[in-house]
Structure 1
Amino acid sequence: MIRNYLKIAWRNLARNKAFTIINILGLALGLACSLLILLWVQDERSVDGFHANGQHLYQVYERTYSDGKVEADYFTQGLLAEELKRVIPEIQYASAREWAMPATFAVGDKVHKMPGTAASSDFFKMFEYPLLEGTFETALSTPSGIAISRKMAELFFGSPEKAIGKSIRYENRSNLTVSAVFENLPAHSSQQFDFLTPWSDYVKENAWTRHWGNRDPVTFVQLRADRNGAPMDPAKVEAKIQDFIYRYTPKITGHRVELALQSYPEKYLHSTFKNGQLDGGRIEYVRLFSLVAVFILLIACINFMNLATARSQKRAKEVGVRKVVGAVRGALMGQFLSEALLLTGFAIVVAVGLVAVLLPAFNSLTGKQLTLPFAEPVFWLSLLGLLGLTGLVAGSYPALFLSSLNPNRVLKGTLRFSGGATVLRKGLVVFQFSLSMILIVGMIVMYRQMAYFQTKNLGFDRENLLYIPLEGELTNKYDLFKEQASTKEGIVSISRMEESPTGLGHHINDVGWTGKDPNLITSFSNTAVGYDFVKTLDLRLLAGRDFSEAYGTDTVNFIINETALKKIGYEQPIGQPLSWGNRQGTIVGVLKDFHFNSMRQNIEPLIIRLRQKPLWGNILVRTEAGKTQEALASLERIWQELNPNVPFAYQFSDQEYTRLYRSEQVVSTLSNYFAFLAIFISCLGLFGLAAFTAEQRTKEIGVRKVLGASIPSIVRLLSTQFLKPIAIAFCLASPVAWYVMKHWLQGFAYRVEVEGWMLGAAGLLTVSIALLTVSYQAIKAALMNPVKSLRSE
């Protein structure tokens, strides 16, 4: 029987090639979109899921109650990991880790820049990064040692075996010995690095890590298993460490710091805080696109329903004859479902082909390394499930509808469709276009927000600003580099900075001033800079001056921003005392607030000090407009003279700023594609409904033409009736789109607003595209010979 169903289904599909092609195209596009999103969602959910100890791994974060606010972040004290392991018996391992930064390495004439950081000796015991050479105990505990990846070992030494015990030059200032080689990190790891140095060495070079008032590294812990091998209850451990900081620092009224734990495998998708609590993150995009995949697939299925009912007049007599000769309704439903499944099968084949073609571009856009997992049985089971689900959903309404037709009415030629059936079909169109409008509004709002980021005045000039990493010999020869480069054509000003102007992450609490409430602790962002900093960034001074070599006391003085001044409360700040730990100085300048982090965050209090002998950071170079290439050529020549063992590297300020919003840009671009795809597939459905309507009103159109109706009037008659469902879709979609995008924008401290014109533009665009789609069928029907129309049966 099934074979018979499929044979008849094939004949029907082959007989109606245009109908078949449109249906396959609509379903294939919907299925391809769903498959791409499914692959992306699976990849997102698999990040950090490969660690064997994953159920025992946690990341520590701090929750701060101060100034009537509750805030939280992952910055912790450099001493925290070691003390947690020593004091809390439930913690088996603990590791501090700094943020990954690129560094230059050299072995002989081989010089390469590799990303990496410093970590505690327990790091490899906690995370599933297999060691190819060396041991867990010595990998990060050997002084002046370094653990490198297979990639780095092969690059410098030829193989992991040859690398172990060899010396490698680090930043052209020290020699490190390879103590371990680890396997290249998988793409599903949120941590990405090619080398790790011992935390003990990092602490020796950074005295601030030994003070509980400074926060910057992140801290990981691994809890012990209970007697049955089950994971330890993290809530109980969290309760024990909540006030852990106050073992080492005194409590202050009005200010409290709590430690909390987050499951490490969950951190990648859940990393956003709101009012001190975890509240979303990348998981929002996973949920959003999962919903988009379902919606687009539904839109494609609705198209099938509409196109199938549009052809119902041609299939009605077939149903009538089958019923007269004894076909039962169940058999007819099986026949129509078989057609839907067969057509869906073809669509899936086309969809897989489309995905294979689109994956390279999709990977380039999303930064992923997705592939079609043909070798995995789960993939084929998923396709089979998608085939069955899509075929049943798409074919259910046509099967139920066509199998219910009355054979007497059908064979007498008096078939008319009930008002309920018409309402259902138009309701499906309303649903389609509602979803399309929501996606279009999302596309417009995201585009506006991205444009806002790019055009907003950050408080400093991003144009013609270069960042050059301060590394190698330049840490000692910076002053000479600046002196020589400042005389070259196209270079306006040069300074330096420990971080970059849009990436300040270090926080301190030990800032003091005259009249400060002893119970008040305020977190300050901070950085160290060189002379001409204000001039090079083109910052605006509200009071005072930049650091200057003319003032010898500037080595202990400070520049603060507007927000910091509000916290401190000085009415006349210039010359007023300010302290940072043991450093006692005065305020010499107040900067107008500028954005030094993502616009997801409010501008924080900022304190800036002068550092004469930098160990690391960036050289900031302001070039003259139109002469950037000449300036770069001069900078490279000077670099090669003063720092020949390190390759010259630079980046533009705009490039780094753009990276802050990589996720949002990807989402915005994908939304554009999905919105276009949704409206295109929806219009295929509208095309089907228009064809159905024209088919139903063939004789009416013939009579109107015989009575003198013009072609434009008939086109208007058939076209304008479709404005009603689209108008309803606009009314339904507008509040939903407004709410969804309003919620999305709440994640940014600085944002655009959802304005009425955005909703109106989405509606106008949808109406225009819909009318163009409908007009084809309307004009075709209006041009039909009335004689043929009146003779049609």
Structure 2
Amino acid sequence: MLIHLKLALRTLRQERFYAAINVTGLMIAFICTLLIGLYVFQSLTYDQHTESHKKLYRATIDLINGDSHNTFALMSDAMAPTLALQNPDIEGYVRFKTLPEKPIVSIGEEKYLEDAIFGSDSNVFQQFGHQSVYGDPSTALTSPTSIAISDSFNQRHFSGENSLGSIITVNDIDYQVTLVFSDVPGNSHLKYNLLFPINSPGFIPSPANPVMALFTVNTYTYFILPETYDVQKFSDFFDQFWEETTAEVLGDSGISSSMALTPVADVHFGPTVEFDQPTGNLLTVYAYGIIGVLIMLVAIVNYINLATARATRRFKEVAISRLLGAKKRSLIMQFLYESIMQALIAAILALIIIEIIFQANAPASLVNALDLTSLRTPLAITGILFFAGILGMLAGLYPASWISRQKFSSRTVTSGHNRTEPILRQVLIVFQFAVTISVIASTILVLSQMYFISNMPLGFETENRMVITVKGASAISRVPALKNSLNSLPQIESTTFTNFDPGVGFSAGNWRIESAQSQMENSFMSYQNADADYLQSMGLELIEGRFMSPDDENRTVVVNETLVRTMGWTNPIGKRSGMPGSPETQDSEIVVGVVKDFNFDSLEVPINPLIIRLTRPEYYQSLPDSVAPHQIARLTIVLSGPASGQLIQQLSSTWQEHMPELPFEFRFLDDIVASRYTSETGIFNSLSYFSGISVFISCIGLLGLTAYTTERRTREIGIRKVLGAHPRQLLGMLFRNIFVLILFAAIIASVVSYLSINAWLSGFAYRDEINLLVFPAAAILTFCLALLTMTLQAWKPIHRNPVHALRYE
């Protein structure tokens, strides 16, 4: 073993250039594979960080109304305790009650909006596996005004010190810190920084009627049930419960409901439901895994190609060893030691570089997505090095066995090479370039789809629109005065008041609407609440009737084209609608206009029917004190141009004059719209990086192959130059075979990437057509990069004096 190790070290020193090429390619592949492997592992172990995850089931509720079928992740906070009283299989439950909107959190003089906050049951820390940093988890949420904070929140706002007893104000209610708990893992579908009791005074009280309380939608619910529980049994129980409990309220309305349970470990990659937390795409995880494997395979192919090529240069060394009695096994071991050593060096360098990247200037998105803790354990490092050794052995096995099988003669010893060329090397070159071309083509097509989406007309304007959240009925009632002050500024074109993010926000619920036969029907509808300036401020197009006016005596609404088509209306003006169960609005809202369809939801889904209702800030003045502080609205300011620092300061001053109790925090509408496609943008960015890496690894492999080819044929090049060959002819002679292999690779890559991208595009309601010219373009780009790489390496041997090439030893 020691002699093999010494010989391997000697060979690496003598072959520094080729060793550097192999180690660099393998190192880059290891970096990518380790990061991707960590991402895949963390994705496939979502919500498995607690021992009780096998007994936790997240409940979703279905609302069925005729042909309408909607599934919600939120349900009533009264649902879990009501069901637990009637079903002995329920061992317990954990609830996460949401607030209507991001609350205003105050710590000392600091005010900001917090979105990672819920009301929860006191057993949340036990069931979701949180460790205590400060405080006792068993008593943390016993008081209605207690609050638990995460360790990272404590680090940001209390410098990591013991903050027990500190006061945090949420929506003007003071809470006392009773626990600092360990952070929620990154691979958890529900993330939070603050938890307070579910009976906190900060929540809108549930309806006094226990049956009506079941119809509110505000809580994520998790049931604790026996492992391997029959979820169908629970669904049957709920069907019977719902029918018996709500029969008197629903009557013959045609509305029914059902409940489904999902193991908590399956929630993140489960079906998308309304009001859910961001979900993942399992196909995306598998795609990343395949990319990681392909990058490693490209690096291994590089090594095999270069190793078999360099092995022919060592025929003399191997032939002499064989003639002196060396066994085939000994020769194979020598080559395996060299390949394993290079793989281990590459893996060690990869681990060091990953650590440096994360300790230095790693992007926040990368740091948040990956937890390196599992890579830093001795067991993980040992496993990685073992894996690297196995890869090195597999990569070196073919070159070692191939050269040991060759027949050697005295001529081989004299010439130092054999004319036998392994066919497998040509197959591997085809594979290598097929991967490269496929990744490049896929990247271009994903970019084309993202460009198509970003430039597709949404039906409303997004540029230069500043969106500010207004919280509380008292503040909302002051919006008209604030609008007047803002509209007087020369840089402000208009303002509009809504209860959602303008253009892209909406609510959904059961609706009463007049049919084409003039009968009132129940239907599940999307709706938006907006003031009379909404049409002008958002650039919507009115195609029939008029828009709503503040002077309307009756409640008025505007509908979109899709709703008109869905209802079969020939004359929509004057049709009635309304929210069932509300004496003020049931059957009393009159359609006064129709707007052209606009994409108020993601472009991945088609446009649905929509109702735009007139809302006025004065509506909020009559709300009872129990619900008034929880009201949320949006004020959108349409700017005449990009926001300058001076203008923002002016807007902030105007805001503070009218809303001194609220922080001036704004977003731009184009950023809100773009945030809907962060997943697709992430896929494109990843493909861009990996296509570049794949091309780079392939190019450095070509660099080594070119160096070997020109070195092996040095005397042939010299003879041809003496006989008058032009450098272009010499280049063609050297690389004609490579370009034929690239052509075969392009054909294979085009088919694979076309099928893959076509499957990905099927998830979009609006998709760009696949441009077939992308595939030859990717092949030409790869060809040009290969030509450039090989030309740079072969330039010096081709242009040097042939006398030096023809000189023998």
Superposition TM-score, scaled by structure 1 size: 0.88
Distance 2:443 2:161 in 1: 48
- The residue type paired with residue 173 of structure 2 is N
Q: What are structure 1's unaligned runs of at least 5 residues?
A: 275-279
Identity %: 26
Distance 1:51 1:196, change over 3 A: same
Q: Does residue 590 of structure 2 align to residue 586 of structure 1?
A: yes
CA contact (8 A) 1:223 1:231 kept: no
The Cα of 1:711 is off from its aligned counterpart by 1.9
SS in structure 2 at match of 1:722: helix
Q: Is the 8 A contact 1:461 1:537 kept in 2?
A: yes
Change (3 A) 1:624 1:243: farther
Given that 1:504 and 1:526 are in contact with CA atoms closer than 8 Å, whether structure 2 keeps it comes out as no
What displacement does 1:49 show?
2.0
Secondary structure of 1:552's match? coil
Find the aligned partners of 2:596 and 2:757 in 1 and give their Cα distance. Answer: 31
- 1:543 paired with 2:541, answer no
Letter in 1 for 2:390: L
Identify the range of structure 1 (201-210 vs 533-542) with the bigger mean alpha-carbon deviation: 201-210
Q: 1:203 to 1:186 in 2, by over 3 A?
A: closer
Alignment of 1:16-95 (within 5 A): 16-62=15-61, 72=71, 74-76=73-75, 80-91=79-90, 92-93=92-93, 95=95
Query: Which residue is 2:141 aligned to?
Result: 139
Please, which moves more after superposition, 379-388 or 501-510? 501-510
Give deviations 1:206-237, integer Å, cap 9, x for gaps.
87998599775453222332xxxx44333432
Residue deviations 1:621-652, cap 9 Å, x none?
Answer: 11112465554333211221222233211111
Report the Cα offset of residue 727 of structure 1.
Answer: 0.6
Equivalence for 2:462: 462
Does the alignment pair 1:680 with 2:682? Answer: no
In structure 2, relative to structure 1, the CA distance for the partners of 1:387 and 1:156 (3 Å cut) is: closer
* Aligned residues of 1:698 and 1:781 also touching (Cα < 8 A): yes
* SS of match in other structure, 1:750: coil
Residue 574 of structure 1: aligned partner:
573
What is the Cα deviation at residue 382 of structure 1? Answer: 2.4
Q: Give SS of 1:531's match.
A: coil
Query: Using a 3 Å threshold, how does the CA distance of structure 1 residues 790 and 109 change in structure 2: closer, same or farther?
Result: closer
1:446-477 per-residue CA deviation (whole Å, 9 max, x = no partner) reads: 22222223222211100010111112662332
Contact 1:98 1:117 (8 Å CA) reproduced: yes
In the alignment, is the contact (CA less than 8 A) between 1:252 and 1:519 conserved in 2? no
Q: Would you say how many aligned residue pairs link Structure 1 and Structure 2?
A: 776
Q: Which runs of 5+ in 2 are unaligned?
A: 621-630
Question: Is 1:597 the equivalent of 2:601?
Answer: yes
Counterpart of 1:186 in structure 2 is: 184
- What is residue 443 of structure 1 aligned with on the other side? 443
Q: Name the aligned partner's letter for residue 465 of structure 2.
A: L
1:683–1:770 CA contact under 8 A, matched in 2: yes
Partner residue, 1:175: 173
* Secondary structure at the counterpart of residue 418 of structure 2: coil
Residues 368-379 of structure 1 correspond to what in structure 2 (within 5 A)?
A: 368=369, 370-371=371-372, 373=374, 375-379=376-380
Offset from partner CA, 1:666-703 (integer Å, 9 cap, x none): 22112111101101111222233334443454444344
What residue is the counterpart of 1:222 in the other structure? 223
1:402 to 2:399 alignment: no
Give, in angstroms, the shift of residue 478 of structure 1: 1.6
Q: Secondary structure at the match of 1:342?
A: helix
Matching residue's letter, 2:727: I
User: Residues 190 and 12 (structure 1 numbering): CA distance in 2 closer, same or farther, change over 3 Å?
Assistant: same
Q: Displacement of 1:318 after TM fit?
A: 0.6
Could you tell me which residue of structure 1 aligns to residue 420 of structure 2?
418
Q: Which moved more, 1:377-386 or 1:463-472?
A: 377-386
Contact 2:515 2:521 in 1 (8 A): no
Specify the alignment match of 2:632 in structure 1. 616
Verify the 8 A CA contact 1:340 1:392 in the aligned structure 2.
yes
Report the equivalent of 2:237: 240
Can you list the C-alpha shifts for 1:414-460, whole angstroms capped at 9, x where unaligned? 843436x1x21111111011111111122112222222232222111
Over aligned residues, Cα RMSD in angstroms?
3.5
Could you list the per-position Cα deviations for residues 386-407 of structure 1 after superposition, in whole angstroms to 9, with x for gaps in the alignment?
Answer: 2212211221121112222222
Question: What is aligned with 1:310?
Answer: 309
Question: Does 2:657 match 1:635?
Answer: no
Query: Aligned AA for 2:702?
Result: L
Change (3 A) 1:84 1:748: farther
In structure 1, what is the equivalent of residue 792 of structure 2?
Answer: 776
What residue is the counterpart of 2:774 in the other structure? 758
Change (3 A) 1:387 1:170: closer
Displacement, 1:76? 4.3
In structure 2, what is the Cα distance between the partners aligned to 1:119 and 1:609? 31
Amino acid across the alignment from 2:554: T
CA contact (8 A) 1:719 1:778 kept: no
Q: CA deviation at 1:779?
A: 3.3
Answer yes or no: is the 8 Å Cα contact 1:58–1:263 preserved in 2.
Answer: yes
**1:112 shift after superposition:** 3.7
- Return closer, same or farther for 1:619/1:386 CA change in 2, 3 Å cut-off: same
Residue in structure 1 matched with residue 628 of structure 2 by the alignment: none
Please list, as runs of the form range in 1=range in 2, the aligned pairs for 1:280-299 lying within 5 A after superposition. Answer: 281-299=280-298
What's the offset of the Cα at 1:272? 4.1
Distance 2:213 2:609 in 1: 19
Cα gap change, 1:123/1:763 in structure 2, threshold over 3 Å: closer, same or farther?
farther
Distance of 2:333 and 2:737 partners within structure 1: 34
Whether the 8 Å CA contact 2:120–2:195 is kept in 1: the answer is: no
Name the counterpart of 2:554.
553
Moved more, 287-296 or 56-65: 56-65
Residue type matched to 1:436 in 2? T
Aligned 1:672-711 pairs, distance under 5 A: 672-711=688-727
Mapped to 1, the partners of 2:516 and 2:138 lie a distance apart of: 51
Q: Is the 8 A contact 1:140 1:146 kept in 2?
A: no
Instruction: Tell me, yes or no, if the aligned pair for 2:468 and 2:636 is still in contact at 8 Å.
Output: yes
Of residues 428-437 and 772-781 in structure 1, the stretch that sits farther from structure 2 once superposed is 772-781
CA distance in 1, matches of 2:107, 2:416: 89
For the structure 1 residues 599 and 126, does the alpha-carbon distance in structure 2 shift closer, same or farther, using more than 3 Å as the test?
farther
**SS of residue matched to 2:48:** coil
- 1:127 correspondence with 2:125: no
8 Å CA contact 1:214–1:509 kept in 2: the answer is: no
Once the two structures are superposed, residues 96-149 of structure 1 have per-residue CA deviations (whole angstroms, 9 ceiling, x without a partner) of 53378432133654434333444454672643345755776883783x765555
Q: Does 1:433 align with 2:433?
A: yes
What's the offset of the Cα at 1:262? Answer: 1.6
Counterpart residue type for residue 605 of structure 1: P
Question: SS in structure 2 opposite 1:617?
Answer: strand
Distance in 1, Cα, partners of 2:742 & 2:693: 17
Structure 2 CA distance, aligned partners of 1:551 and 1:128? 56
Q: Distance in 2 between matches of 1:580 and 1:338?
A: 76
Partner of 1:500: 501
**Closer/same/farther in 2, CA of residues 149 and 299 from structure 1, 3 Å limit:** closer
Q: Deviations over 1:40-91 (max 9, x none)?
A: 2333334422233211112223456777687655354565444433443323
1:272-298 Cα distance to aligned partner (Å, 9 max, x none): 479xxxxx9432222111111111111
Q: Is the 8 A contact 1:272 1:281 kept in 2?
A: no
Q: Which amino acid aligns with 1:767?
A: F
Check the 8 A contact 2:312/2:418 in 1, yes or no.
no
Give 1:277's aligned residue.
Answer: none
Name the amino acid aligned to 2:266.
E
CA distance in 1, matches of 2:183, 2:756: 37
Q: Is the 8 A contact 1:100 1:117 kept in 2?
A: no
Kindly indicate whether the alpha-carbon contact (under 8 Å) linking 1:498 and 1:527 is maintained by their aligned counterparts in 2: yes
Distance 2:84 2:400 in 1: 66
- CA distance 1:541–1:685, change in 2 (3 Å): same
